[in-house]
Chains A and B, each alone.
Chain A
Amino acid sequence: MYQHDDYQPLDRYRQLAEKSPDLISRHSPEDFVFIDVNPAVEKILGYTVEEILGRPAYELFHPDDADTWMNRASSVTYREGVYTNVYRFKCKSGSYIWLETTSRTIRDPETGLLEEIICVSRDVTERVQAEQTMTRLARVVEASSDLVMFCNGSHQIDYLNEAAIRTMNIDKSRFPTLHLEELLPREAYQQMVETVFPQVLADRNWRGEIRLHPRSMEDRIAVIQQIIAHRGDSGELQYFSIIGRDITDQHKAEEEARQHQLEMAHISRLMSVGEMASGLAHEINQPLAAILNYSRGCLRRIEEGSMTRLDQVTQALELIARQAVRAADIIKRLRSFVKKTEYQRMVFQINAVCEEIAQFLDQEARDHGISYRFMLDEQNPVLHADKVQIEQVILNLLRNAIEAHGQCEKEEKLITIQTVSQGGQLQVRVSDNASGIPAEQLENLFEPFFTSKESGLGMGLSISRTIIEAHGGRLWAESDGSNGTTFTIRLPLDK
């Protein structure tokens, strides 16, 4: 009776198990030997029921997964007396498939000893592989050096990859409430809303360059380069992915290249001033020589009596006047060269300029056995002026100082370069300890064509003073006439 009563349902269960596409099996606690198995085993694992019965399942686990169940690894979950495990299992063909197995342990109600394990397993290979692909893709996104962000239709950001977080220096706790608006300058965000997102929605994809600039970002430079719209099955917008790039290094390299180019242009400019001076000397020489020839020729004729009429003299004087005008034009051209082409104000550190120019003339100084002494203002004053022009003035003063030493025989040859900022004024002093300048010459020093040098043109200080005065400053010289000279540039500092 009892047996009979039970028979019907058991038989039905058996039938159900026979027909189940899932693998249903019973195992001994020792090495999980197959005690019983349904025919699905053949379809799933390739073994016939006869082949598999009596074999320990433990041997067929993938070596890496064999102990996951025993160790309750992360792949194993336990809920209401049922364990679920996902693991690789060896088929008859020798290949592994992924099985998801729910198992229940049967224990002796009195002793609590493990009697057997009942398992229901299904082939989840496809699912696991798809998950793995997804995981890999996610890892790529996460580890990519490109900046990746996901945001929804209302521009709320719900994901940033590691590069985005790092580059923009985002506080992770801000994630749930972070809005795209916070990562962009106002106009850029406006542009995104008005033109970029509508275009993304229309074309699915947008490429361009928009500068990212969250307040938290410090010294990096990043841009959005691509936005993709992702839609669900029914075409509704699910989210946007925003892909950007940290262009700090690229930017830096470009900046360095540009800087280098500027420096080259700059050096060639300094050179060209020197060349110009020599070319100018030749040019001015021509009309001067002509004037001299005409006047001497006149004097000779008058002395010898071959020039007696006033119109002859007039003609000669006209020739002379024309050459004087020519000389004046050359000077005018020089002035406009200095004035016109080089007036570009910028902010720069005067100390660095002094050091660079000294460096530039280092070889000349060494050739004369001169050493520099720097007394630079520790506040590192910043000047707003035409850097090239100021450099030319300092270069000129330094070169003069070097040449002053070249003409005297003092034992210790020293050039002191000093910067002092005080009361909204900056002073740059260049002092030498050569033989000085006599008081009567000191006054003429800044006159055009005044020179004490064999090869000099006498324009340097005149031009220098013009430059400094154009900057609202002053340039003057002091000397005791025997122990050296100090040139001082005074310029207003920006408040």
Chain B
Amino acid sequence: MKTDVVAEKTVFIVDDDDAFRDSLGWLLESAEYRIQPFASGEAFLETYRGEPGCLLLDIRMPGISGLALQQELNKTGFRLPIIVITGHGDIPMAVSAIKNGAVDFIEKPFDDQVLLEHVSRALTMAEEWQQQAARQREAEALWNGLSRREKQVMELVVSGMANKVIAETLDISPKTVEVHRARVMSKMRADSLPDLVNLWHRIDTQSAAS
């Protein structure tokens, strides 16, 4: 039923209501999900270190509220798809949660089928995010392997400049530009110019440079 990719992920549950948290875990386990429950946002933030999965988050809690937890999580840099669980009449809060980056919300009490669909979708999304992140890390690693001059040349190449113009801009000979360009293509493992442009878009030059 489920792909292996989904099966190795964890559904994190953060809800202050013991019975509800327990019953939610019970339901998810019946669909063979691995779960990890937390009674508070604080407890979750203390434990979570970027493991793949998704988060079922109660929006109304004492201590760190659902919304605050979401903001805290955004700060850590870990990307975890969040499904917000709202109670009766919490729609405005759900809207804020979505604006904050939650991928979905579900109003309790909910139908198990609906919940499981949401979870499955979130985990697929987590997988995509994970792959994206891996690709980004890869591209950034390659970028960091370039020399300063090679980085300059790559920047100008992806902006669409011809070798001659690059040579003038950097005040070096077109021949040298050609050598640098070949090294960039090889180091970045790019087969073509479009390939290189794709890689370029994955790199966050700001964070990669630091």
Q: Which residues of A contact B (CB under 8 A)?
A: 278, 281-282, 285-294, 296-298, 300-301, 304, 306, 316, 319, 322-323, 326, 455
CB distance from A95 to the nearest CB of B (A): 89
Please name all residues of chain A whose beta carbon is closer than 8 Å to the beta carbon of B31 when the two chains form the complex.
300
Q: Assess whether A286 is in contact with B27, with CB atoms less than 8 Å apart.
A: no
Identify 24 residue pairs between A and B in the complex whose beta-carbon atoms are under 8 Å apart, listed by A's number: A278-B89, A281-B89, A282-B87, A282-B89, A285-B87, A286-B87, A286-B108, A289-B20, A289-B23, A289-B108, A290-B17, A290-B23, A290-B24, A292-B111, A292-B112, A293-B24, A293-B26, A296-B112, A297-B112, A304-B30, A306-B30, A319-B19, A322-B19, A326-B19
Cβ-defined contact, A287 with B19, below 8 A: yes
User: How many whole Å from B8's CB to the nearest CB in chain A?
Assistant: 20
Contact with A along B22-42 (1 / 0, CB 8 A): 111011011100000000000
For A293, give its contact among B27, B60, B87 (CB under 8 Å). B27
Chain B interface: which size bin? 20 to 34
Closest 9 CB pairs of A and B: A293-B23, A296-B112, A289-B109, A289-B108, A300-B30, A290-B23, A297-B27, A281-B88, A297-B30
Q: How far is the CB of B27 from chain A (nearest CB, A)?
A: 4
Residue with the highest number of chain A CB atoms closer than 10 Å, among B27, B31, B87 = B27
Asked if B108 and A285 make an inter-chain contact with CB atoms under 8 angstroms apart, the answer reads yes
**A286-B17, A300-B30 are contacts. A319–B23 as well, Cβ < 8 Å?**
yes
- A323 vs B21: C-alpha distance when bound (angstroms): 12
Does B110 lie at the interface of the complex (its beta carbon under 8 Å from any beta carbon of A)? Answer: yes
Is B112's CB under 8 angstroms from A293's CB?
yes
Closest Cβ of chain B to A296, distance in Å, is 4
A307–B136 Cα distance when bound, in Å, is 44
Count of CB-CB pairs between chains A and B under 8 Å: 76
Supposing A296-B27, A300-B30, A306-B30 touch, asked if A290 and B22 sit within 8 A by C-beta, the answer is yes
- Report whether A286 and B20 are in contact in the complex, using a CB–CB cutoff of 8 Å: yes
- The A interface is mostly helix, strand or loop, or mixed, namely helix
Chain A residues within an 8 Å CB radius of B112: 292-293, 296-297, 300
Of all chain A residues, which has the CB nearest B113?
A: A296
In the complex, which of the residues A278, A296, A300, A306 contacts B88, with contact meaning CB atoms closer than 8 Å? Answer: A278
Q: Which residues of the other chain, A, contact B27 by a CB distance below 8 angstroms? A: 293-294, 296-297, 300
Q: Which residues of A contact B108 (CB under 8 A)?
A: 285-286, 289
Given A282-B89, A293-B23, A298-B30, 6 more contacts at CB 8 Å?
A: A281-B89, A287-B19, A290-B23, A290-B24, A297-B112, A323-B19
> Smallest Cβ distance from B57 to chain A, in angstroms?
15
Which residues from chain B contact A298 at a C-beta distance below 8 Å? 30
Residues of A within 8 A of B19 (CB): 286-287, 290, 319, 322-323, 326
Q: How far is the CB of B200 from chain A (nearest CB, A)?
A: 47
| Residues in A neighbouring B110, C-beta threshold 8 A | 289, 292
**In the complex, A296 Cα to B115 Cα: how many Å?**
11
**A190 vs B109: C-alpha distance in the bound complex, in angstroms?**
71
Q: Give chain B nearest CB distance to A319 CB in angstroms.
A: 7
Q: Name A284's closest neighbour in chain B (CB-CB).
A: B88
User: Chain B's nearest CB lies how many Å from the CB of A246?
Assistant: 55
Q: Which residues of B contact A293 (CB under 8 A)?
A: 20, 23-24, 26-27, 109, 112
